[in-house]
Structure 1
Amino acid sequence: MEKPKIPDKEKQRLAALKTYDILDSLPEKDYDDLTLIAAEICDAPIALITLIDENRQFFKSRIGVDIEDTPREYSFCSHAINLPDQLMQVEDTSMDQRFVDNPYVIGEPKITFYAGVPLVNPEGYAFGTLCVLDSKAKRLNERQERALKSLANQVMHLLELRKKNKELELSRKKVDAYARETEEFVYAASHDLKEPLRMIRSFLKLLKKKHSQHLNEEGLKYLSYASDGVKRMQMMIADMLEYYRLNMDELTAEKVDISKLVDEVSAFYKREHQDAEIKHSGLPAINASGKDLRMVFENLIGNAIKYRKAENHPVITVRAEANPGEDWVFSIADNGVGIPEDHLERIFGLFQRAHSGKQYPGTGIGLAICKKIIEKAGGKIWVESKLDAGSTFFFTWPENV
């Protein structure tokens, strides 16, 4: 018996094999199907997918044998991988010096015939073979040889797919960890900013109360600007904390009566905007997080009131339409100032605004919060609008959240 030669660049070959994370893995149907087809086409009682590591031959898939691996020195496939571009075929082991006294030739399973196609990765390293074996001497015909080569290619495709899936999963975990870390940092930083801002606002109030008589008109104006800036910053931090809370909290569903919810949101806004007319009818009860869905309607109805035309009283219409077995489609239409066409997509991004902050105050986070809530539930949001002709915001909500 001749021991198989060690391939050139063996360290690199073994390192490449480890990247597939396949050694000692459990049986998988996709691989077993290919060995079964190989055995049937080649009329062989034994078919194997083998992988050669430093000391042994591991059987990723096997038909006709019970063992999971063999020592490398007794492996037929360890010879085959030294010729990565060829099908190795041994018609009669009793006539071949390499195998004549091999333990698996003189003992069970008494291998007399072997044919193996190396499994070669894109870098040219042969990891093992797809092989067929028999206890009687024979030779594969051309059709069987072509089929065995094609099946070996499919085994290699499965290995490459496995590797890419592992790489994608690792990348996804890294991205998720980075995103989580970023969210936690922003959340913590925003939270920690709240206290110094409260202190600044308190001192500004104290300054105005105790020393306003020492300030001229310009000084009082600057004091007012500073107070407004602190107030806007507090609003922005509150919205940012809410935005990042949505990333960290799990979605919890309950039965929410949308008609009742819209009535409550309407009552809240009409305390300050008594001329606002908010209409709805036939709104359903759906499965949702009541807190998050309230935030969606508060933002969309609040925006409809905020971006009103100076000469009109706001008229907002809330509707819902059911697609049987699919999503609910909600719409919030207004008669306001409308949105420029080139802003229709970007307004759902963080800190994006369609109109001047001086004319229409706000943080530019509200629609981003709506988008995150809706997409987290599996829905989508969009808007149709024309300048001076009002806007209609649409969003879908899955029937079964």
Structure 2
Amino acid sequence: MTKAKIHPREKERLALIDSYSILDTLPEKDYDNLTQLAAEICQTPISLITLLDDKRQWFKSHYGLETSETPIEDAFCAHAITADDPIFTVENAKEDIRFKNNPLVTGDPNIAFYAGIPLKNTNGLSLGTLCVIDNKPRVLTQSQKESLNILSEQVINLLELRKNKLELERAHRKLKKFSKKLEKKVFQRTNQLEIKTIKLELMINDLESFNHICSHDLQEPLRKIQMFISQVSDTEFNNLSEAGKHKLERIDLSAARMRNLIQDLMAYGSTETIDNSLTSVSLKRLVMDVKDVLSEELKEHKTVLKVPKDCEITVRPIQFKQLLFNLFTNAIKYSKNEEKPVIKVSGKIVSGADFPKLDLSKDKRYSRIEVSDNGIGFDQKYESKIFEIFQRLHTDEEYQGTGIGLSIVKRIVTTHKGHIQVESNVGEGAKFIIFIPVENQIELK
């Protein structure tokens, strides 16, 4: 048995693996789907996603194999990451002088055939491999090699997506910690106005960073994943088993859900950075604008949209139309199967003193806006939960969603220094009540 060479940039390679914080993590379906698909395409009983540190090869996903790691001195993958070939192949390990005495060949899992593609980052450093294994000698077709290469690129995309997410979380924690320290220091040396200015600057920087990561760092690998899925579908779909086709479709659905989540996160992060000018506008006019945008959805679900009472409101129009859009789509999504969705929007001017139980200024007037529907409703005890980001009352199997739509509504109301509450019972629809502070506004007949 021949021992594998040590990677020429081993120290740098080990540091890179550590930066992903992935060793010894729990199994994840996205990785398992890829190994199962690789085994289906190559028609092998075993497929692995391996990551190599200085003592072992650890399997992030192990299809067809029970163990989760093996010693690095026995690892075929240790040879693969230092080889010059794009795909390291051993067609018959039992006759190969490098491996015929290897414990993984002479014992379980009795490796006879091995093919592994190094998982390299943009700098060309290998983290590990995507490999397929059989207990009998064989040769991969050119089509199988190309498909295996596409799947290996998807593994790298998943790893990069994970790393970007971890870096974003660390940046947010660091920014939050820095913000608290700075706020305390500034509070001791200046007045309240300066504190608010610094908070705003930190928030803008945070949101700009957030939107950049969402718009580029997260969406770019996602676009590649969807492109590779399309390529596999075009070239290999008919060669897959029914289980393989199902897994490929599941990967495509997971990518679509991730795209929707990123888009909703961008909308959530942009509510305080766009459309800062307040404008006096008719509530009914905003409703009609949103109605035009949703015309196809309203027609498809035979939705009735009514505005029984109008009033002038002073808002940021783009943000407020996003608020109405989210409430309307929510009403359509959670409508009853046997009834046409009915959405009613009305507004009037009220005094904060008329609502002593709410956190409203008693000496101010407000636009009180109601958006009600006749949908499935929910238990009133979940009132606060529905406005929290990523919090949902239903599973994806029941109703698709990201759990961000109503948190955007709450955020928009907050940027208008307003108040929102909801009244609902199971099976009796929901009524969202929004208070926006106003000055010199009039009701329309």
With normalisation by structure 1, the TM-score equals 0.54
Once the two structures are superposed, what CA deviation does each residue of 1:179-217 show, in whole Å capped at 9, x if it has no partner? Answer: 122233344557xxxxxxxxxxxxxxxxxxxxxxxxxxx
Q: Secondary structure at the match of 1:324?
A: strand
Q: Which residue in the other structure is 2:370 paired with?
A: 322
Aligned partners of 1:6, 1:379: CA distance in 2, in Å? 56
Aligned partners of 1:395, 1:116: CA distance in 2, in Å? 58
Q: Is the CA contact 2:351–2:366 (under 8 Å) kept in the aligned structure 1?
A: no
Q: Which residue in the other structure is 1:11 paired with?
A: 11
With normalisation by structure 2, the TM-score equals 0.49
Once the two structures are superposed, what CA deviation does each residue of 1:361-392 show, in whole Å capped at 9, x if it has no partner? Answer: xxxxxxxxxxxxx999523478xxxxxxxxxx
Asked whether 1:95 is paired with 2:118, we answer: no
Aligned partners of 1:116, 1:76: CA distance in 2, in Å? 8
Q: Which residue in the other structure is 1:225 paired with?
A: none
Q: Which residue in the other structure is 1:27 paired with?
A: 27
* CA apart distance, 1:323: 2.3
Larger radius of gyration: 1
Aligned partners of 1:79, 1:289: CA distance in 2, in Å? 71
Q: CA RMSD in A?
A: 3.6
Q: In structure 2, do the counterparts of structure 1 residues 114 and 289 end up closer, same or farther at CA, with 3 Å as the change threshold?
A: farther
Q: Which residue in the other structure is 1:397 paired with?
A: 420
Q: Is the CA contact 1:377–1:398 (under 8 Å) kept in the aligned structure 2?
A: no
Q: Secondary structure at the match of 1:57?
A: strand
| Structure 2: gaps spanning 5 or more residues | 204-347, 374-406, 423-431, 434-445
| Structure 1: gaps spanning 5 or more residues | 191-232, 248-278, 302-316, 326-373, 383-392
Q: Secondary structure at the match of 2:2?
A: coil
Once the two structures are superposed, what CA deviation does each residue of 1:58-84 show, in whole Å capped at 9, x if it has no partner? Answer: 111101111111111100000000126
Q: Secondary structure at the match of 1:115?
A: strand
Q: In structure 2, do the counterparts of structure 1 residues 283 and 163 end up closer, same or farther at CA, with 3 Å as the change threshold?
A: same
2:72 aligned partner, one-letter code:
R
Query: Identity percentage over the alignment?
Result: 39
Q: Which residue in the other structure is 2:145 paired with?
A: 145
Q: In structure 2, do the counterparts of structure 1 residues 289 and 64 end up closer, same or farther at CA, with 3 Å as the change threshold?
A: farther
Q: Which residue in the other structure is 1:37 paired with?
A: 37
Aligned partners of 1:284, 1:152: CA distance in 2, in Å? 64
1:77-156 matched pairs, under 5 angstroms: 77-83=77-83, 86-156=86-156
Aligned partners of 1:46, 1:88: CA distance in 2, in Å? 16
* CA apart distance, 1:127: 1.2
Aligned partners of 2:3, 2:112: CA distance in 1, in Å? 18
Q: Secondary structure at the match of 1:172?
A: helix
Aligned partners of 2:143, 2:357: CA distance in 1, in Å? 62
Q: In structure 2, do the counterparts of structure 1 residues 381 and 6 end up closer, same or farther at CA, with 3 Å as the change threshold?
A: closer
Q: In structure 2, do the counterparts of structure 1 residues 119 and 143 end up closer, same or farther at CA, with 3 Å as the change threshold?
A: same
Q: Is the CA contact 1:118–1:128 (under 8 Å) kept in the aligned structure 2?
A: yes
Moved more, 181-190 or 21-30: 181-190
1:211-360 matched pairs, under 5 angstroms: 280-281=349-350, 290-291=358-359, 293-294=360-361, 298=363, 301=364, 318-324=366-372
Q: Secondary structure at the match of 2:412?
A: coil
Q: In structure 2, do the counterparts of structure 1 residues 285 and 99 end up closer, same or farther at CA, with 3 Å as the change threshold?
A: farther
1:31 aligned partner, one-letter code:
Y
Q: Is the CA contact 1:111–1:136 (under 8 Å) kept in the aligned structure 2?
A: yes
Aligned partners of 1:61, 1:31: CA distance in 2, in Å? 6
Q: Is the CA contact 1:119–1:156 (under 8 Å) kept in the aligned structure 2?
A: yes
Q: In structure 2, do the counterparts of structure 1 residues 5 and 318 end up closer, same or farther at CA, with 3 Å as the change threshold?
A: closer
Q: In structure 2, do the counterparts of structure 1 residues 56 and 285 end up closer, same or farther at CA, with 3 Å as the change threshold?
A: farther
Aligned partners of 1:110, 1:16: CA distance in 2, in Å? 32
1:25 aligned partner, one-letter code:
T
Aligned partners of 1:68, 1:166: CA distance in 2, in Å? 24
Q: In structure 2, do the counterparts of structure 1 residues 142 and 131 end up closer, same or farther at CA, with 3 Å as the change threshold?
A: same
Q: Is the CA contact 1:84–1:118 (under 8 Å) kept in the aligned structure 2?
A: no
Asked whether 1:379 is paired with 2:427, we answer: no
Once the two structures are superposed, what CA deviation does each residue of 1:149-172 show, in whole Å capped at 9, x if it has no partner? Answer: 100000011111111111111001
* CA apart distance, 1:25: 1.2
Aligned partners of 2:102, 2:131: CA distance in 1, in Å? 17
Q: In structure 2, do the counterparts of structure 1 residues 289 and 36 end up closer, same or farther at CA, with 3 Å as the change threshold?
A: farther
* CA apart distance, 1:131: 0.4
1:397 aligned partner, one-letter code:
I
Give the aligned length: 244
1:319 aligned partner, one-letter code:
S
* CA apart distance, 1:23: 1.1
Q: In structure 2, do the counterparts of structure 1 residues 398 and 40 end up closer, same or farther at CA, with 3 Å as the change threshold?
A: farther
Aligned partners of 1:282, 1:321: CA distance in 2, in Å? 13
1:149 aligned partner, one-letter code:
N
Aligned partners of 2:92, 2:179: CA distance in 1, in Å? 61
1:199-218 matched pairs, under 5 angstroms: none
